[in-house]
Amino acid sequence: MQLNSNVPSGPLEGKWDRYKFDLKKVNPANKRKFEIIVVGTGLAGGSAAATLADLGYHVKNFCIQDSPRRAHSIAAQGGINAAKNYPGDGDSVYNLFYDTIKGGDYRAREANVYRLAQNANAIIDHCVATGVPFAREYGGLHANRSFGGAQVSRTFYARGQTGQQLLLGVYGQLSRQIGLGGVEMFPRRDILDIVIVDGCARGVICRNLVTGEIESHSAHAVVLATGGYDNVYFLSTSGMHSNVSACWAAYKKGAAFANPCYTQIHPTCITVHGDYQSKLTLMSESLRNDGRIWVPINKGDKRSPDQIPENERDYYLERKYPSFGNLVPRDVASRNAKLACDEGRGVGNTGLAVYLDFTEAINRDGEAVIRAKYGNLFQMYHKITDEDPYKVPMKIYPAIHYVMGGTWVDYNLMTTRDGLFCLGGANFSDHGANRLGASALMQGLSDGYFVLPYTIGGYLATQSLSPVNTSHQAFKDAEKQLSEKLNKLMNIKGKRTVDDIHKELGLIMWDYCGMARNDAGLKTAIQKIQALRAEFWENVDVTGSSKDFNQTLEKGYRLADYLEFGELLARDALTRQESCGGHFREESQTEENEAKRDDENFCHVAAWEYAGEGKDPIRNTEPLVFESVKLTQRSYK
């Protein structure tokens, strides 16, 4: 497999503008002749569908929910980054670029990240134009707050509901195009296969989640914007519908999967409360602006927090990282929370929690100010835990929140399969080995509003695509294969539920591929996943009918994909014998327990190629070349 990033030559600052100029164009009259399938209606998919339709393409837009506005982007809380420099603290496009590259531990493409930083200011302007109500200062300028990994305030926000407000802005644009006929909307569809004709992606096979019907849809190009795969861990902060199936189908049809071991552990999540939970709840990183993280100095101290005096508290992030304090990147904050708990200094009934304390901020600014900033987050915490964070510190612990790995794409956002594009959280593109807070929303909107509309035109303008519709044999074959897979699942009639097996998979992933990984543990994980996958196909019980609404079947075929994907994730972690960002190999750490990269052997993207059923996948590499940034050991001290 050839991995050509298609990054243009020349100075970093001018690459994207020059590349846009050089791209071949599709004239307005010809755009009406092209159909494009966009899978997903979150910030990346929804913005892409609306923008492509506005340009004149006919767009078929698919979502798994009953409404586009229920996409998981709605759950994002804290904010979106841009280098407007409204606070006057010296921010710039280059600063945003550098912080993002460094935050990702130098494991992302320079050119992609710089383009992201360039587009960020235009994203804010565009979102304001679509009605997004960003918070404002008294004088009228947009308010900014700080997020991890930066020493400037560049995060735009709408209280703790930024994702919701951004998605409503996108949804308004999408609804307009649906009304005009430019977008044909297909809700409650699960994309389960990609159809390839003459080497190019020409359509999808989906399951109608209401009727159970298998459907085929054709187009001139296919765009995946289906989000990340963090639910392979079962417990995560993602929505229950989030899955890897569309990207996994693309992988099996020739689209390489990049860096699957790059998973993000968010340091501020509500702790696990029991075996009955099906998901976890995020507490926004923005809370670390005013909340102070601490544990008791003494091991096994079970006193209530108000009974522990200041001189017996360890504000460990402030102590270890005085320059950044509580606003270190997520991977650093998470590992330090785990370390404190492993030392026996964790709090709460399980000892797997640390305090996030707002006492000082409330005393300094008053409860009304804190309520105005974080009121909905405090209310959410109170409802879930029955503890009032205005009166007692929050108890938090790291949890799976995001993934930096995903489908490999080039500078055009096209995969290794011609005509198949991938956007936002579903691709691997911009965040390296650790995503900085408030940059996922930035990437989704950059890809959908400001990158894909140019690059997909460059693809369509240079192709001679033969007419293809759903009567083509490739669609018939794909439908047949999917029906056989579903029937096989329905006919096992074993004794274990889908959720029971998924929980076991999640524990394997968390125990061996979580915040800390090692050679022996990863080899154990691979063996356990293989055994669990074999048991799944012999002993799972999928009830109901495949010809009707059946959520057990939905979870069943998604778990079948996770049981294959989980092994790939563990293999990727095993072969990347270094620590970088969220991928922490215990064998590769500094004397101060920080991630220690191996730039000589692993300064590359690992892109996995499907080799066929029952065969080991092939590991391909794309070297990462740094022309503007010097590779150094990350330090936030």
Which tens digits make up the pLDDT trace of 191-205? 999 999 999 999 999
Q: pLDDT per residue over 147-160, tens digit each?
A: 999 999 999 999 88
Average pLDDT over residues 97-111: 98
Report which DSSP code applies to 448: I
Facing residues of 6 across strands? none
- 8 Å CB contact between 58 and 242: no
Q: Phi and psi of 478, rounded to 5°? A: -65, -40
Average pLDDT over residues 472-487: 97
The residue written with tokens 């154990």 in the block is 524
Q: What is the pLDDT of residue 123?
A: 98
Average pLDDT over residues 242-268: 97
Same domain as 613, residue 499: yes
Question: Average pLDDT of the chain?
Answer: 97
Q: What is the pLDDT of residue 496?
A: 98
Same domain as 478, residue 343: no
58-62/35-39 β-pairing? parallel
Same domain as 479, residue 371: no
Same domain as 528, residue 396: no
Reported confidence tier of residue 580, pLDDT bands at 50, 70, 90? very high
Helix or strand (DSSP H, E) at 379? helix 367-385
Instruction: Answer whether residue 61 is part of any domain.
Output: no
Closest Cα to residue 349, out of 384, 381, 304, 379? 304
Cα 523 from Cα 24, distance rounded (Å): 48
Residues annotated catalytic, as ranges: 330
Q: pTM here?
A: 0.97
- 8 Å CB contact between 232 and 566: yes
Secondary structure, 3-state, 469-528: CCCCHHHHHHHHHHHHHHHHHHCCCCCECHHHHHHHHHHHHHHHHCCCECHHHHHHHHHH
Average pLDDT over residues 391-396: 97
Report which DSSP code applies to 130: T
- 8 Å CB contact between 68 and 185: yes
Helix or strand (DSSP H, E) at 398? strand 394-403
Same domain as 490, residue 397: no
Same domain as 599, residue 500: yes
Instruction: Answer whether residue 585 is part of any domain.
Output: yes
> Number of folded domains in the chain?
2
Q: Which residues of 345-371 are buried (b: 16+ CB within 10 A; e: fewer)?
A: bbbbeeebbbbbbbbebbeeeeeeebe
Compute the residue count for the chain: 637
Same domain as 494, residue 380: no
Instruction: Answer whether residue 613 is part of any domain.
Output: yes
**Among the residues of 514-627, which ranges form H helices?**
519-539, 551-575, 599-602
Instruction: Answer whether residue 612 is part of any domain.
Output: yes
- 8 Å CB contact between 623 and 599: no
- 8 Å CB contact between 259 and 606: yes
Average pLDDT over residues 38-66: 98
Instruction: Answer whether residue 12 is part of any domain.
Output: no
Reported confidence tier of residue 397, pLDDT bands at 50, 70, 90? very high
Tell me which of 380, 401, 422 is where a domain ends.
401
The SS3 assignment for 582 reads coil
DSSP per position, 245-273: HHHHHHHHTT--EE-TT-EEEEEEEEPP-
Same domain as 271, residue 388: yes
Reported confidence tier of residue 275, pLDDT bands at 50, 70, 90? confident
Q: Which residues contact 467 (CB under 8 A, 6 or more apart)?
A: none
358, pLDDT greater than 90? yes
- 8 Å CB contact between 90 and 214: no
Average pLDDT over residues 343-356: 96
CATH number, domain at 576?
1.20.58.100
Same domain as 478, residue 381: no
Same domain as 492, residue 351: no
Per-residue tokens: 431: 């965040």
Q: What is the pLDDT of residue 243?
A: 97
Tell me which of 340, 368, 401 is where a domain ends.
401
Same domain as 612, residue 509: yes
CATH number, domain at 340?
3.90.700.10
- 8 Å CB contact between 317 and 325: yes
Reported confidence tier of residue 276, pLDDT bands at 50, 70, 90? confident
Instruction: Answer whether residue 5 is part of any domain.
Output: no
Tell me which of 401, 434, 463 is where a domain ends.
401
Q: pLDDT per residue over 588-631, tens digit each?
A: 999 988 999 999 999 999 999 999 999 999 999 999 999 999 99
Reported confidence tier of residue 277, pLDDT bands at 50, 70, 90? confident
Q: pLDDT per residue over 508-518, tens digit each?
A: 999 999 999 99
Q: pLDDT per residue over 409-448, tens digit each?
A: 999 999 999 999 999 999 999 999 999 999 999 999 999 9
Q: What is the pLDDT of residue 385?
A: 95
273, pLDDT greater than 90? no
Instruction: Answer whether residue 633 is part of any domain.
Output: no
Facing residues of 37 across strands? 60, 222
Domain that holds residue 297: 265-401
Residue 628: count of CB within 10 angstroms of its CB: 14
Same domain as 617, residue 481: yes
274, pLDDT greater than 90? no
DSSP per position, 291-337: -EEEEESSTT--S-GGGS-GGGEE-HHHHH-TTTGGGS-HHHHHHHH
Q: Which residues of 427-464 are buried (b: 16+ CB within 10 A; e: fewer)?
A: bbbbbbbbbbbbbbbbbbbbbbbbbbbbbbbbbbeeee
Residue 90: count of CB within 10 angstroms of its CB: 9
User: Which long-range contacts link 631-635 to residues 24+ away (Cβ below 8 Å)?
Assistant: 631/106, 631/597, 631/599, 631/603, 633/590, 633/594, 633/596, 633/597, 634/102, 634/105, 634/106, 634/594, 634/595
- 8 Å CB contact between 346 and 340: yes
